[in-house]
A = this chain, B = another copy of it.
Protein backbone atom coordinates (compact mmCIF):
# COMPACT_ATOMS: atom_id res chain seq x y z
CA UNK A 1 0.00 0.00 0.00
CA UNK A 2 1.56 3.27 -1.08
CA UNK A 3 -0.49 5.74 0.97
CA UNK A 4 -1.23 4.58 4.47
CA UNK A 5 -2.68 6.48 7.42
CA UNK A 6 -4.05 5.72 10.83
CA UNK A 7 -7.06 7.33 12.47
CA UNK A 8 -7.91 6.95 16.16
CA UNK A 9 -11.44 8.24 16.83
CA UNK A 10 -12.45 8.43 20.50
CA UNK A 11 -16.12 7.96 21.39
CA UNK A 12 -17.97 8.97 24.58
CA UNK A 13 -19.29 5.49 25.31
CA UNK A 14 -17.33 2.85 27.22
CA UNK A 15 -20.00 1.01 29.20
CA UNK A 16 -22.68 -0.14 26.75
CA UNK A 17 -20.63 -2.50 24.62
CA UNK A 18 -23.58 -3.16 22.29
CA UNK A 19 -23.39 0.51 21.30
CA UNK A 20 -19.61 0.30 20.92
CA UNK A 21 -20.04 -2.71 18.66
CA UNK A 22 -22.54 -0.76 16.59
CA UNK A 23 -19.98 2.03 16.20
CA UNK A 24 -17.33 -0.46 15.09
CA UNK A 25 -19.76 -2.06 12.64
CA UNK A 26 -20.57 1.35 11.16
CA UNK A 27 -16.87 1.87 10.43
CA UNK A 28 -16.31 -1.62 9.00
CA UNK A 29 -16.79 -2.89 5.47
CA UNK A 30 -15.20 -0.01 3.58
CA UNK A 31 -12.73 -1.32 0.96
CA UNK A 32 -9.22 -0.08 1.77
CA UNK A 33 -9.91 0.64 5.44
CA UNK A 34 -9.56 -1.70 8.41
CA UNK A 35 -10.62 -1.55 12.04
CA UNK A 36 -7.47 -2.73 13.82
CA UNK A 37 -8.39 -2.31 17.44
CA UNK A 38 -11.10 -1.17 19.83
CA UNK A 39 -10.63 -0.56 23.55
CA UNK A 40 -13.29 0.58 26.02
CA UNK A 41 -13.01 1.83 29.58
CA UNK A 42 -15.99 1.96 31.91
CA UNK A 43 -14.58 4.51 34.39
CA UNK A 44 -13.78 6.91 31.60
CA UNK A 45 -16.96 5.85 29.76
CA UNK A 46 -14.98 6.13 26.56
CA UNK A 47 -13.82 3.94 23.66
CA UNK A 48 -10.79 4.27 21.42
CA UNK A 49 -10.92 2.72 17.95
CA UNK A 50 -7.91 2.33 15.66
CA UNK A 51 -8.53 2.53 11.92
CA UNK A 52 -5.87 2.15 9.22
CA UNK A 53 -5.69 2.04 5.45
CA UNK A 54 -5.85 4.33 2.44
CA UNK A 55 -6.55 7.98 3.35
CA UNK A 56 -9.90 8.38 1.57
CA UNK A 57 -11.22 5.05 2.80
CA UNK A 58 -10.15 5.76 6.39
CA UNK A 59 -11.74 9.23 6.21
CA UNK A 60 -15.02 7.69 5.07
CA UNK A 61 -14.90 5.12 7.88
CA UNK A 62 -14.28 7.87 10.44
CA UNK A 63 -17.17 9.93 9.03
CA UNK A 64 -19.53 6.99 9.36
CA UNK A 65 -18.35 6.47 12.95
CA UNK A 66 -19.14 10.12 13.68
CA UNK A 67 -22.62 9.70 12.22
CA UNK A 68 -23.31 6.53 14.19
CA UNK A 69 -22.10 8.18 17.42
CA UNK A 70 -24.51 11.09 16.84
CA UNK A 71 -27.36 8.60 16.55
CA UNK A 72 -26.37 6.37 19.49
CA UNK A 73 -24.90 8.68 22.11
CA UNK A 74 -26.71 11.46 24.03
CA UNK A 75 -24.09 13.60 25.74
CA UNK A 76 -26.72 15.18 28.01
CA UNK A 77 -26.82 11.86 29.83
CA UNK A 78 -23.13 11.00 29.65
CA UNK A 79 -20.89 10.88 32.72
CA UNK A 80 -17.31 9.69 32.94
CA UNK A 81 -13.85 10.53 34.22
CA UNK A 82 -12.46 11.62 30.87
CA UNK A 83 -13.02 15.17 29.53
CA UNK A 84 -15.11 15.33 26.32
CA UNK A 85 -17.01 17.77 24.13
CA UNK A 86 -18.64 15.33 21.71
CA UNK A 87 -20.33 11.97 21.18
CA UNK A 88 -17.47 11.37 18.77
CA UNK A 89 -15.02 13.42 20.80
CA UNK A 90 -11.74 13.51 18.87
CA UNK A 91 -10.79 12.31 15.39
CA UNK A 92 -7.00 12.50 14.83
CA UNK A 93 -5.38 11.49 11.53
CA UNK A 94 -1.86 10.06 11.70
CA UNK A 95 0.60 9.61 8.79
CA UNK A 96 2.08 6.10 8.49
CA UNK A 97 3.57 5.60 5.03
CA UNK A 98 3.73 7.71 1.87
CA UNK A 99 1.70 10.50 3.52
CA UNK A 100 3.07 13.61 5.25
CA UNK A 101 1.67 15.34 8.31
CA UNK A 102 0.60 18.10 5.88
CA UNK A 103 -1.36 15.49 3.94
CA UNK A 104 -3.12 14.52 7.15
CA UNK A 105 -3.84 18.19 7.93
CA UNK A 106 -5.61 18.70 4.61
CA UNK A 107 -7.51 15.43 5.07
CA UNK A 108 -8.58 16.57 8.57
CA UNK A 109 -9.84 19.87 7.14
CA UNK A 110 -11.92 18.10 4.49
CA UNK A 111 -13.32 15.64 7.03
CA UNK A 112 -14.22 18.58 9.30
CA UNK A 113 -16.21 20.19 6.47
CA UNK A 114 -17.94 16.90 5.70
CA UNK A 115 -18.91 16.38 9.35
CA UNK A 116 -20.70 19.71 9.37
CA UNK A 117 -22.33 19.12 5.98
CA UNK A 118 -23.53 15.61 6.75
CA UNK A 119 -24.39 15.76 10.44
CA UNK A 120 -24.56 19.47 11.38
CA UNK A 121 -22.03 18.97 14.19
CA UNK A 122 -19.57 21.89 14.61
CA UNK A 123 -15.85 21.10 14.36
CA UNK A 124 -12.69 22.42 16.05
CA UNK A 125 -9.30 21.70 14.45
CA UNK A 126 -6.44 20.80 16.83
CA UNK A 127 -2.72 19.91 16.94
CA UNK A 128 -1.13 20.18 13.47
CA UNK A 129 -4.56 20.87 11.95
CA UNK A 130 -5.23 23.86 14.29
CA UNK A 131 -6.14 27.14 12.58
CA UNK A 132 -4.77 29.23 15.46
CA UNK A 133 -1.99 28.55 18.02
CA UNK A 134 -4.31 28.54 21.04
CA UNK A 135 -6.17 25.55 19.57
CA UNK A 136 -3.12 23.35 19.01
CA UNK A 137 -3.53 21.89 22.49
CA UNK A 138 -6.48 19.57 22.78
CA UNK A 139 -6.85 20.43 26.48
CA UNK A 140 -7.59 24.07 25.52
CA UNK A 141 -10.13 23.11 22.84
CA UNK A 142 -11.94 20.91 25.35
CA UNK A 143 -11.93 23.43 28.21
CA UNK A 144 -15.31 23.52 30.00
CA UNK A 145 -16.26 20.26 28.30
CA UNK A 146 -19.65 19.74 26.61
CA UNK A 147 -21.64 21.42 29.38
CA UNK A 148 -19.43 24.54 29.59
CA UNK A 149 -18.66 24.92 25.91
CA UNK A 150 -22.38 24.64 25.07
CA UNK A 151 -22.94 27.94 26.93
CA UNK A 152 -19.69 29.75 26.09
CA UNK A 153 -19.95 29.20 22.35
CA UNK A 154 -23.17 31.26 22.25
CA UNK A 155 -21.54 34.44 23.56
CA UNK A 156 -17.72 34.16 23.27
CA UNK A 157 -16.43 34.49 19.65
CA UNK A 158 -13.05 33.09 20.76
CA UNK A 159 -14.75 29.77 21.28
CA UNK A 160 -16.54 29.66 17.92
CA UNK A 161 -15.96 26.45 16.00
CA UNK A 162 -13.69 26.36 12.92
CA UNK A 163 -16.47 24.82 10.85
CA UNK A 164 -20.23 25.24 11.37
CA UNK A 165 -22.44 27.58 13.33
CA UNK A 166 -21.49 28.74 16.85
CA UNK A 167 -23.99 26.42 18.51
CA UNK A 168 -23.27 22.86 19.65
CA UNK A 169 -25.29 19.92 18.38
CA UNK A 170 -27.91 19.36 21.14
CA UNK A 171 -26.96 15.71 21.85
CA UNK A 172 -23.70 15.12 19.93
CA UNK A 173 -21.89 18.32 20.99
CA UNK A 174 -18.84 19.22 18.92
CA UNK A 175 -15.85 17.32 17.52
CA UNK A 176 -12.12 17.98 17.64
CA UNK A 177 -10.56 16.88 14.36
CA UNK A 178 -6.78 16.85 14.17
CA UNK A 179 -3.58 15.64 12.59
CA UNK A 180 -0.70 14.40 14.69
CA UNK A 181 2.21 11.97 14.82
CA UNK A 182 1.70 8.45 16.20
CA UNK A 183 1.04 8.56 19.93
CA UNK A 184 2.25 5.86 22.30
CA UNK A 185 0.19 5.35 25.44
CA UNK A 186 2.56 3.71 27.90
CA UNK A 187 1.89 3.04 31.60
CA UNK A 188 4.57 2.14 34.12
CA UNK A 189 3.49 0.43 37.36
CA UNK A 190 5.44 0.90 40.60
CA UNK A 191 5.85 -1.64 43.41
CA UNK A 192 4.10 0.75 45.80
CA UNK A 193 0.52 1.89 46.30
CA UNK A 194 1.68 5.42 47.21
CA UNK A 195 0.23 7.48 44.35
CA UNK A 196 2.13 10.57 45.53
CA UNK A 197 5.35 8.93 44.32
CA UNK A 198 3.81 8.24 40.91
CA UNK A 199 2.71 11.88 40.75
CA UNK A 200 6.19 13.13 41.64
CA UNK A 201 7.75 10.93 38.96
CA UNK A 202 5.17 12.13 36.41
CA UNK A 203 6.07 15.75 37.23
CA UNK A 204 9.76 14.99 36.89
CA UNK A 205 9.54 13.43 33.43
CA UNK A 206 6.88 15.51 31.68
CA UNK A 207 7.49 18.49 29.41
CA UNK A 208 5.03 20.81 31.16
CA UNK A 209 7.08 20.79 34.36
CA UNK A 210 10.63 20.68 32.97
CA UNK A 211 10.94 17.08 31.75
CA UNK A 212 11.35 15.44 28.37
CA UNK A 213 9.95 17.35 25.43
CA UNK A 214 7.38 14.92 23.99
CA UNK A 215 6.12 13.45 27.27
CA UNK A 216 2.76 13.99 28.97
CA UNK A 217 2.36 12.13 32.25
CA UNK A 218 0.26 11.83 35.40
CA UNK A 219 0.21 9.71 38.54
CA UNK A 220 -2.72 7.28 38.78
CA UNK A 221 -3.96 5.16 41.65
CA UNK A 222 -4.74 1.59 40.50
CA UNK A 223 -7.04 0.68 43.36
CA UNK A 224 -7.97 -2.83 42.21
CA UNK A 225 -4.33 -3.78 41.76
CA UNK A 226 -3.04 -1.89 44.82
CA UNK A 227 -0.40 -0.15 42.72
CA UNK A 228 0.54 3.39 41.81
CA UNK A 229 1.08 4.03 38.11
CA UNK A 230 2.87 6.61 36.00
CA UNK A 231 0.55 7.01 33.02
CA UNK A 232 2.37 8.40 29.98
CA UNK A 233 1.49 9.73 26.55
CA UNK A 234 4.49 9.93 24.25
CA UNK A 235 3.63 12.30 21.41
CA UNK A 236 6.78 11.90 19.28
CA UNK A 237 8.67 8.68 19.97
CA UNK A 238 11.24 9.40 17.28
CA UNK A 239 12.41 12.53 19.11
CA UNK A 240 11.85 11.30 22.68
CA UNK A 241 12.31 7.53 22.51
CA UNK A 242 10.43 5.20 24.81
CA UNK A 243 13.59 3.67 26.31
CA UNK A 244 14.81 7.07 27.53
CA UNK A 245 11.48 7.73 29.24
CA UNK A 246 11.55 4.28 30.82
CA UNK A 247 15.12 4.65 32.10
CA UNK A 248 14.27 8.05 33.60
CA UNK A 249 11.22 6.66 35.41
CA UNK A 250 13.35 3.79 36.76
CA UNK A 251 15.95 6.20 38.09
CA UNK A 252 13.36 8.52 39.67
CA UNK A 253 11.61 5.54 41.29
CA UNK A 254 14.94 4.49 42.84
CA UNK A 255 15.28 7.92 44.41
CA UNK A 256 11.99 7.26 46.24
CA UNK A 257 13.11 3.80 47.32
CA UNK A 258 10.81 1.92 45.01
CA UNK A 259 11.07 0.10 41.70
CA UNK A 260 9.27 -0.53 38.43
CA UNK A 261 6.99 -3.57 38.78
CA UNK A 262 6.00 -3.72 35.12
CA UNK A 263 4.65 -1.69 32.24
CA UNK A 264 1.93 -1.85 29.59
CA UNK A 265 1.14 -0.51 26.15
CA UNK A 266 -2.43 0.80 25.71
CA UNK A 267 -3.67 0.21 22.18
CA UNK A 268 -1.07 -0.35 19.48
CA UNK A 269 2.61 0.56 19.28
CA UNK A 270 4.52 1.22 16.02
CA UNK A 271 7.04 -1.54 15.28
CA UNK A 272 9.71 1.10 14.83
CA UNK A 273 9.45 2.08 18.52
CA UNK A 274 10.25 -1.53 19.47
CA UNK A 275 13.16 -1.64 17.03
CA UNK A 276 14.56 1.56 18.57
CA UNK A 277 14.27 0.00 22.01
CA UNK A 278 16.10 -3.19 21.03
CA UNK A 279 18.76 -1.15 19.21
CA UNK A 280 19.39 0.90 22.34
CA UNK A 281 19.57 -1.90 24.89
CA UNK A 282 21.58 -4.28 22.69
CA UNK A 283 23.96 -1.41 21.79
CA UNK A 284 23.53 -2.20 18.10
CA UNK A 285 25.72 -0.40 15.58
CA UNK A 286 24.76 0.31 11.96
CA UNK A 287 21.29 -1.03 12.61
CA UNK A 288 18.22 -0.09 10.57
CA UNK A 289 14.85 -1.56 9.62
CA UNK A 290 16.66 -3.01 6.59
CA UNK A 291 18.22 -5.55 8.98
CA UNK A 292 14.79 -6.90 9.93
CA UNK A 293 13.68 -9.96 7.94
CA UNK A 294 10.02 -8.90 7.70
CA UNK A 295 10.85 -5.35 6.58
CA UNK A 296 13.20 -6.62 3.90
CA UNK A 297 10.61 -9.12 2.67
CA UNK A 298 7.87 -6.49 2.57
CA UNK A 299 10.15 -4.13 0.63
CA UNK A 300 11.10 -6.88 -1.83
CA UNK A 301 7.45 -7.78 -2.40
CA UNK A 302 6.36 -4.16 -2.91
CA UNK A 303 9.07 -3.14 -5.35
CA UNK A 304 9.60 -6.22 -7.50
CA UNK A 305 6.70 -8.66 -7.51
CA UNK A 306 8.63 -11.48 -9.16
CA UNK A 307 12.31 -10.98 -8.43
CA UNK A 308 14.78 -8.65 -6.84
CA UNK A 309 18.53 -8.45 -7.23
CA UNK A 310 20.82 -8.10 -4.25
CA UNK A 311 20.51 -4.68 -2.65
CA UNK A 312 23.18 -2.22 -3.69
CA UNK A 313 26.00 -1.84 -1.24
CA UNK A 314 25.29 -5.15 0.47
CA UNK A 315 28.72 -6.47 -0.38
CA UNK A 316 30.50 -3.40 0.94
CA UNK A 317 28.60 -3.57 4.19
CA UNK A 318 29.35 -7.26 4.46
CA UNK A 319 33.09 -6.88 4.30
CA UNK A 320 33.10 -5.64 7.84
CA UNK A 321 31.45 -8.78 9.10
CA UNK A 322 33.98 -11.37 10.19
CA UNK A 323 31.51 -14.12 11.04
CA UNK A 324 29.29 -15.80 8.49
CA UNK A 325 26.21 -17.89 8.99
CA UNK A 326 26.52 -21.73 9.04
Contact = CB atoms under 8 A, between A and B. Distances in A.
A284 B309 contact: no
Contact of A266 (B6, B292, B306, B323): B323
12 contacts: A17-B315, A29-B307, A34-B304, A36-B300, A36-B308, A42-B319, A183-B326, A185-B324, A260-B283, A263-B285, A264-B321, A266-B324
A284 B262 contact: yes
Contacts of A10: 324-326
Contacts of A295: 271
Contacts of A233: 323, 325
B264 A292 contact: no
B264 A325 contact: no
A291 interface: yes
Interface string A285-326: 111000111111100110011111111001101110111111
Contacts of A38: 310-311, 314-315, 318
Interface of A: 6, 8, 10, 17, 20-21, 24-25, 28-44, 46, 48-50, 52, 82, 89-90, 92, 96, 138, 182-183, 185, 187, 189, 220, 222, 229, 231, 233, 242-243, 246, 260-271, 273-275, 277-278, 281-287, 291-297, 300-301, 304-311, 314-315, 317-319, 321-326
A218 to B, nearest CB: 8
B284 A264 contact: yes
A284 B265 contact: yes
Q: How many copies does the complex hold?
A: 2
B40 A307 contact: no
Contact of A324 (B39, B189, B270): B39
A309 B28 contact: yes
A274 B282 CA distance: 10
Contacts of A321: 39, 41, 187, 264, 266
Contacts of A246: 281-282
Given A293-B269, A308-B34, A326 B41 contact: no
* Residue of A33, A233, A273, A314 with highest tally of chain B CB at under 10 A: A314
Nearest to A279: B274
B310 A284 contact: no
Contact of A293 (B36, B308, B311): B36
A224 to B, nearest CB: 9
A326 B90 contact: yes
B293 A6 contact: yes
Given A21-B310, A39-B318, A322-B43, A263 B282 contact: yes
